Chains A and B, each alone.
Chain A
Amino acid sequence: MNAWLLAATVLLFALLPCGIVGFRGPAMHRLVGLEMASLIVIIEFILLAQGMGNPNFYDLALTLGLLAFGGGLVFVRFLERWL
């Protein structure tokens, strides 16, 4: 296991606090947990891409970044208007 995969493994457990925030509390707090989880997973993909030597994972990080933006905005507008 190289340093990149070790960092990816340690960072993977950082999703636990995000998950706890995302599953408990008011809706707006959960949304922040979801957004933070998206950021962590983007970094995770970069670390995995470098660790496994697979450049395709960089495209996954890019795509996830763009989709997380759209998804986050949709959630924000929904919570702002309807809840």
Chain B
Amino acid sequence: MSAPTIAVEVSLAVAVLVAWICCLGLWLMEDFFDKLHFMAPVTTVSMFFVLLAVVIETGWGQATVKTILVLVIMLLINAVLTHATARAGRIEEHGQWQPCSGEKVSGDEKIPALQNPPREKSA
């Protein structure tokens, strides 16, 4: 068994293992925002190791270019989609996505009462 073959198999194993761990984490976490975090390693670590395996196997060709394109698309899409999903989850939980009155924010400063009262959802 040659070194490139071993490298490909190890890369694929790492990619699949990370994806599996993230899927189990998604299942086992109770909190919505905890679940969201497990989407990131799939798009970064797993995809990177799949790309590495493709590069080792095929060199710089059509497959590599398309895999890089998929990686870039997944990076962009996951960032936007995770933000939008977290925003929607917070709106569902608090009625707004800005810090609520009395809620602690970074810097341990509290928002004065009634500065950001929860708003009604649009009909």
Contact = CB atoms under 8 A, between A and B. Distances in A.
A3 B66 contact: no
B20 A14 contact: yes
B70 interface: yes
Given A14-B23, A46-B67, A62 B73 contact: yes
Interface string B82-93: 001101110110
B42 A40 contact: yes
Interface in A48-68: 49-50, 55, 58-59, 61-62, 65-66, 68
B66 A58 contact: yes
Contacts, number: 135
A9 to B, nearest CB: 10
B111 interface: no
How many chain B residues sit at the interface, stated as a range, is 35 or more
Nearest to B25: A17
Contacts of A73: 80-81, 84
The A interface is mostly helix, strand or loop, or mixed, namely helix
Interface residues of A, number: 46
Given A7-B12, A50-B54, 10 more contacts: A3-B9, A14-B16, A28-B89, A28-B92, A32-B39, A43-B46, A46-B54, A50-B63, A59-B66, A66-B77
Interface of B: 5, 8-9, 12-13, 15-16, 19-20, 22-24, 26-27, 32, 35-36, 38-39, 42-43, 46-47, 50, 53-54, 57-58, 62-63, 66-67, 69-70, 73-74, 77-78, 80-81, 84-85, 87-89, 91-92, 121-122
Interface of A: 3-4, 6-7, 10-11, 14-18, 20-21, 26, 28-29, 31-33, 35-36, 39-40, 42-43, 46-47, 49-50, 55, 58-59, 61-62, 65-66, 68-69, 72-73, 76-77, 79-81, 83
